[in-house]
Amino acid sequence: MNDNRPEPSNCADVHDRATLEEQRELERNLARHRAAAQQQSRLQPKGYCHYCDEPLREGQLFCDKYCSDDFEYEQSRRAINKKV
């Protein structure tokens, strides 16, 4: 009977590699989020959104999550472009 299952020894290798790649991806994502948090922590409230210039209440950096995400994305793209 041929059920096309991988041999047990190969199965462990495949799962080990998948787990290792998953861990690497997690570490890359954590590093990216830490860098973004550090970038935002350097920003000072200025009375208006750092992305769209919408007036804000005291102490806010962005008017909403979309502006915050867009600002983070643009900053990451600028950092990548500087490295090229």
Is the pLDDT assigned to residue 75 strictly greater than 70? yes
- Mean pLDDT of the residues in the chain: 83
Question: Average pLDDT of 33-60?
Answer: 86
Nearest-angstrom CA–CA distance, 59 and 31 = 26
Note if the pTM is more than 0.85.
no
Domain residue extents for the chain: 7-42, 45-84
Which DSSP category does 18 fall into? H
- Report the amino acid identity of residue 64: D
- Whether residue 62 contacts residue 51, with contact meaning beta carbons closer than 8 Å, is answered with yes
State CA 51 to chain mean position distance.
18
